[in-house]
């Protein structure tokens, strides 16, 4: 997924980080609400913050193994 920020930067993150998006229909994906703080898909109950993207965080509802 590519997100272009208002300051001109473009952030690319693996869509696999967000399972709700991976499994969503294209029509549902297009129903995104964009705000200064992030992205929101009402139908998917998915919120992705810009701060989280910049910090390299994916879906925070799934526990991942920590790698040293």
For residue 61, being part of any structural domain is answered with: no
Q: What pLDDT score does 66 carry? A: 55
Per-residue pLDDT tens over the stretch 17-55: 999 999 999 999 999 999 999 999 999 999 999 999 999
For residue 26, being part of any structural domain is answered with: yes
For residue 22, being part of any structural domain is answered with: yes
Strands (E) across 1-68 are located at: 2-4, 10-12, 33-34, 38-41, 46-49
pTM for the model: 0.78
Q: What pLDDT score does 56 carry? A: 86
- For the beta sheet containing 33-34, the strands, ordered from the edge strand earlier in sequence to the opposite edge, are 33-34, 38-41, 46-49
What is the domain-level CATH number for residue 49?
3.30.2020.40
Number of domains present in the structure of the chain: 1
For residue 37, being part of any structural domain is answered with: yes
Q: What pLDDT score does 12 carry? A: 93
- Is residue 65 predicted with pLDDT exceeding 80? no
């Amino acid at each position: 997924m590519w997100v272009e920020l208002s300051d001109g930067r473009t952030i690319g993150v693996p869509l696999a980080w967000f399972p709700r998006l991976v499994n969503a229909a294209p029509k549902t994906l297009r129903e995104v609400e964009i705000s200064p703080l992030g992205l929101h898909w009402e139908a998917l109950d998915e919120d992705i913050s810009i701060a989280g993207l910049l910090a390299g965080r994916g879906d925070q509802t799934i526990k991942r193994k920590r790698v040293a």
